[in-house]
Amino acid sequence: MPRVMLIGEWRSGKSTLIRILSRSDYRPRKVFAVDHHGDFVNTPSEFLENRRWYPALITASAHCDTLLFVQDATRSSCQIAPSLAAMFNRRVIGVITKTDLPEANVQRAERFLRNAGVREMYTVSLATGAGLEKLREALGLA
């Protein structure tokens, strides 16, 4: 099974995504340090929001096969820096969450992720399960 690291802003759905993809009882919570759960690595949102923590992201990704950049479709801004994906010598996948909400703007979220250097993207709803099977297949979890 591939090792997957999730990077995203606070309340973007990283912890819930880990719970669903790992089919476990992982509890969504605010993490303050790199959190390992089986083959998943959850990173604090502060690592993304402050560039001085980028070395910590790079170090945490060293033993991971795939990185997921998680973007909430309801957010009108993005903390993921332009071309951030180029810092990693790993497969980077963009995951757009909260697509089922009325205020979701998937095109804007795609633009944010493209700006970050992401080329492979999946839209999902963690509430309804839409798009999760395709993401599972892409990660080799199906």
Query: CATH code at 97?
Result: 3.40.50.300
CA dihedral over 45, 39, 97, 13, signed as positive or negative: negative
User: Which pLDDT band holds residue 1 (cuts at 50, 70, 90)?
Assistant: low
Instruction: Please give the pLDDT value at position 96.
Output: 98
CA distance 77 to 66: 24
- H helix or E strand, kind and range, residue 118: none
pLDDT tens, residue by residue, 34-91:
999 999 999 999 998 889 999 999 999 999 999 999 999 999 999 999 999 999 999 9
Range of the domain at 70: 4-139
pTM, two decimals, is 0.94
- Domains in the chain: how many in total? 1
CB 43 within 8 A of CB 70: no
